[in-house]
Amino acid sequence: MEDRAGSLDRRTLLRLGALAAAGFGGAGLVAACGGSSKHGARPSAPLGRPSTTVVDPSLPWWLRGDFAPVAKEVETFDLRVEGSLPKELAGLYVRNGSNPKPGWSPHWFLGDGMVHGVMIEDGRASWYRNRYVHTTLLAAGGGLTAKGAPGGAAGLSNVSVVHHAGRLLTLGEVGFPYELRATDLSTVGSYDFAGRLKGNMTAHPKIDPVTGAMHFFGYNFAEPFLEYHVADRDGTLVSSQPVSVKAATMIHDFAITERDVVFWEMPVLFDMKLAIKMVSEARSTVMPYVWKPAYGSRLGVMPLGGPASAIRWVEIEPCYVFHGMNAWRAGDEVVIDVCRLQKVFVAGAALGLPPRLHRWRINTNGPNLGFRDEVRSDLDADLPSIDRRYVGRTYRHGWRVETRSTPDDVVLAGAVHIDAQTGTETRWDPGPQFSSGEWLFVATGPDEAEGVVMTYVYDHAADTSSLVVLDARDIGAGPVARIALPQRVPYGFHATWVPATAA
Ligand SMILES: [Fe+2]
């Protein structure tokens, strides 16, 4: 009888979820869930999961609930659209993430890459597909194993996607990129820039909006521990230079201005013994990175394009930054907005202590770099996005996703917009029934922030996902469109947009 009662209860909850979803395209749900607010005026609805989410507590947080991998590769055409998609929006939204094929991974960051894509054109959503990135690791059964060290083609390719010089590349931070076909998300194969790339490639390259060059780096587990690379606008790798650092640390992102490269080296050190332990144990939960604050944190500034030997460093308080939002030149200063965490990979927080937006000013005048730190927001939010036509330039608009990290869980919730000049913030909270992800900006017009932000939103009650589209300049108004998807899309990492003219 208990099972029957539980089943009936779940059906009721599913109906409630469907009713709520029906109002998703308008202001009704926004108002019901607290909706938008200016900075300082928080909605009453708490962030977090409702009790309807099916969670297996025996699994680690990155394998259960809305993190759980999906088993099927699906393709569906002519998706149902609620609301209205801007007619200028024509292209492919594609997002990468961890989807461990063996059903187990040692950490959220360490599952096999899977992309989920939606093609949008003429106000329609013409298809959805999810596809594994067909890496050599996937062909061997999936995941990292003790059979070989990761690197080269042997990478998970699970973190992000970049479109440069006509190529759609998945990136996994360790190993080479993999090239995909934008037409159906199938895998072409690993990509090493015609043999010129010798080491790893970051998942966060920066494309200079003026020159079209792609600047990127790779951190390696043996020397050179850090390399800086430039691919020209045609995609030819034209420069690779070692950057002098003392050890192999996890460097997830960096920044450029119109004339500078900015690195942040922070005390998350690679540990080979832990790496061996990770791949040797069944159902391992070992991460091969260790928080060692005694190593210190420092920022390095070097000329854009090099030489890397000209890099200058300034020590700062130990902390960690996964993601920068943007950087730019202001006279003698390099200014950079970052999502700063006090520490990561420590007990008491699934990923790290809450990310807060900081503005760092690095004064490059004189023999030693100067440093100033300013807190820009007291909201916990990460996965920043900007109008990429303003990469490395003074900008006004940035978007993040609100986060909650507890000892055994991470929740990604609503969208936050910040006016980078005034600091004014606006939120859109989808309510505790929903979780979201990185809000990718896609332009529909020539001016900064003239466009939309979009991400996959999961409905815990209905156990469905949708691609939700907000007006980038008015996120508080709630969704302008919602594209229904044929299956749940697990939490993931980073997305990109491939314009229809290039797909
Ligand atoms: Fe990232």
User: pLDDT grade, residue 54 (50/70/90)?
Assistant: low
Mean pLDDT of 20-38: 30
Helix (H) or strand (E) holding 19: helix 2-22
User: What digits encode the pLDDT tens for the residues 346-360?
Assistant: 876 677 778 999 999
What confidence score (pLDDT) does residue 503 get?
A: 59
Residue 114, strand partner residues: 97, 132
**CA 474 to ligand 1 center in whole angstroms:** 25
3-class state of residue 451 by DSSP: strand
CA gap 490, 458 in Å, rounded: 8
Comparing CA positions, the residue from 135, 127, 241, 110 lying closest to residue 184 is 127
Instruction: Enter the tokens of residue 100.
Output: 């461990």
User: What digits encode the pLDDT tens for the residues 226-247?
Assistant: 999 999 999 999 999 999 999 9
Q: What is the 3-state secondary structure (H, E, C) of 337-402?
A: EEEEECCECCCCCCCECCCEEEEEEEECCCCCCEEEEEECCCCCEEEEEECHHHCCCCCCEEEEEE
**CA 342 to ligand 1 center in whole angstroms:** 17
CA gap 370, 105 in Å, rounded: 42
3-class state of residue 308 by DSSP: helix
**CA 384 to ligand 1 center in whole angstroms:** 9
Looking up tokens 């597909």 gives: 129
- If one compares 167 and 51, the residue with the highest pLDDT of the two is 167
- Give percent above pLDDT 90 in the chain: 80
CB distance 17 to 52 below 8 Å: yes
pLDDT higher than threshold 70 for residue 97: yes
**CA 329 to ligand 1 center in whole angstroms:** 23
Looking up tokens 């020590």 gives: 315
**CA 365 to ligand 1 center in whole angstroms:** 31
pLDDT higher than threshold 90 for residue 420: yes
Residue 66: half-sphere exposure toward Cβ, Cα within 13 Å: 30
pTM above 0.85, yes or no: yes
Mean pLDDT of 261-265: 98
Mean pLDDT of 293-303: 97
The phi-psi region of residue 340 (left if phi > 0; otherwise alpha if psi is between -120 and 50; otherwise beta) is: beta
What are the angstrom distances between the C-alpha of 193 and each of 167, 183, 196, 243, 387? 11, 21, 5, 20, 27
**CA 362 to ligand 1 center in whole angstroms:** 23
What confidence score (pLDDT) does residue 159 get?
A: 98
pLDDT higher than threshold 60 for residue 297: yes
Cα 160–161–166 angle (5° rounding)? 160
- E strand segments, 220-295: 226-231, 237-242, 255-256, 260-265, 268-270, 289-291
**CA 252 to ligand 1 center in whole angstroms:** 6
What are the angstrom distances between the C-alpha of 62 and each of 102, 142, 208, 354, 415? 14, 17, 34, 18, 22
pLDDT higher than threshold 60 for residue 257: yes
**CA 95 to ligand 1 center in whole angstroms:** 12
For the chain, the structural domain boundaries read 2-499
Helix (H) or strand (E) holding 465: strand 464-471
3-class state of residue 276 by DSSP: helix
pLDDT higher than threshold 80 for residue 162: yes
Task: Give the DSSP per-residue string, 135-200.
Answer: -HHHHTTSS--TTS--BTTB----SEEEEETTEEEEE-SSS--EEE-TTT--EEEE--TTTT--S-
User: What digits encode the pLDDT tens for the residues 457-476?
Assistant: 999 899 999 999 999 999 99
